[in-house]
Chains A and B, each alone.
Chain A
Amino acid sequence: DAGVIQSPRHEVTEMGQEVTLRCKPISGHDYLFWYRQTMMRGLELLIYFNNNVPIDDSGMPEDRFSAKMPNASFSTLKIQPSEPRDSAVYFCASSLLFWWQFFGPGTRLTVL
């Protein structure tokens, strides 16, 4: 079975550009999570969805970040406009049981 799929795996962009990260969760999973990993702050939860509905977005750093889940098999995390401090690895995870989260391979974002 396919795991969590994220695209792109690597993204390099210039400051001010819009960035869209994509995630396809494991089929049948009700929960979808977006995390960000940096050396300074470690792994942080940005937002999570349950049955396509955003439940907790308190980790979203600011209005430049937005996430959507239009259906059970797809989610996006958008940054507009991007800034160098947004450079990080962004993980998507999904789960059937909230606590047993399966992580995707991550998207390494570099904002120049």
Chain B
Amino acid sequence: GAVVSQHPSRVICKSGTSVKIECRSLDFQATTMFWYRQFPKKSLMLMATSNEGSKATYEQGVEKDKFLINHASLTLSTLTVTSAHPEDSSFYICSASVDSDYSGNTIYFGEGSWLTVV
């Protein structure tokens, strides 16, 4: 079945540095991918919709200059957390879906990335 790979699964970075997280659809093309963030004691919140070949659509309250999203190909979207701060420490997860195949089991999530900023 379709698989979405997310890398790295865990990353620790120093405050002020940038970290890139990759979301890759392994055996299908995904025009649209989604990035979610999980806050402590809160749910997974949609950060942005990543559109292949165009700018990402950010949810209200998400800083687009801080969370850079690039969807340069039909199988890869990247999320770069720039100038990371400890409050950016969180669980980030992406999802992708097979284009033109809308059914209940065609939304695939990556494994997620645990980011710790020290």
A and B from one assembly?
no
Binding site for A on B (CB under 8 A): none
Binding site for B on A (CB under 8 A): none
